[in-house]
Amino acid sequence: MASHSGSPVYSRITGTGSYLPPERLTNADLAARLAAAGVETSDEWIVERTGIHARHFAAPDVSCSDLALEAAKNALQSAGLQASSIDLIILATSTPDMVFPSSACILQNKLGIAGCPAFDIQAVCSGFVYALTVADAMIKAGTATKALVIGAEVFSRILDFSDRTTCVLFGDGAGAVVLEASSTPGILATDLHADGKHVGILCVPGHVSGGKVIGDALLKMDGQAVFKLAVGVLESSARATLAKANMTDADIDWLIPHQANIRIMQSTAKKLKLPLEKLIVTVDQHGNTSAASIPLALDASVRSGKIKKGDTLMLEGVGGGFTWGAVLLTY
């Protein structure tokens, strides 16, 4: 661990922020929109399978970096910092503004700052956990002191609205944290993994070549395969992270899993022997916002007063790749 004046350097979350686009679609709103395209679904069908009641969609002219900007501003305000004090920007997204440059660089310009490293991380729904782990490592190494870590997505752009098994699941939004160097522990342990053999069960298999989209640029998912894999790896990653910190399930005050599906989330809590009262749930109102889901849930819970200073949080995600991981921290 890096030292400063002889003492260990840790990283702590000092501010949280989030942003949801104004257009909120209830299940009934979405069902009506899909019915016009000849696709049948209903509020009951969606709620029973996913726990989702509503989601937000960005307007056509709003990009990933636009959502990230609002979440970042809110996190900076929460931390009591100006954008000019930030010396690292990491943005987790699967729906960037363009092929390149990174949405993090576009965000940096929108924040009116320059010079600090800025880059995207692509780990789909595990993206925020990956980004937080990298930022923590860079702060401990002494290469950053104040980092903006953001998850931002416009998943509505890559949904197949003729496939009712996937298009009802996702929403748009952004969440952000400010992570600062500290002499007291904040992030206690992290754990990251991937297994590329599962590419086919959750992917957007298209790409750009010669100015055309080659393949299919809409989301494809084998829901049952994802569910089966997700519950197992979320439990193992949480346990590995607890072991690294010499802590147990009983030390967790709040479990903030990736908000994919209420059934996956509840199954994970049960495997960790946590009462459902300790499970943070926002999937009902946000849908699955991929890399944005964990920081959105964190910010909502901090601002509502549910999460308090000193609480021990377990953040964990699983996403296409397949990627998965966990971060244990003291808020």
- What residues act catalytically? 125, 258, 288
Q: Which of 144, 147, 90 is nearest to 119 (CA)?
A: 90
CA distance 5 to 219: 50
Residues in contact with 29: Cβ distance below 8 Å, sequence separation at least 6, in sequence order:
none
Within 131-269, strands assigned E span 146-154, 172-182, 187-194, 202-203, 207-209, 212-214, 220-221, 254-257
Are the CB atoms for 158 and 144 separated by under 8 Å?
A: no
181-191 exposure pattern, b = at least 16 Cβ within 10 A, e = fewer:
bbeeebbbbbb
**Is the CA virtual torsion 243, 256, 171, 260 positive or negative?**
positive
**Is the CA virtual torsion 156, 159, 161, 166 positive or negative?**
negative
17 secondary structure, DSSP code:
E
CA distance 270 to 260: 16
CA distance 306 to 182: 24
Q: Which residue has the tokens 């937000």?
A: 56
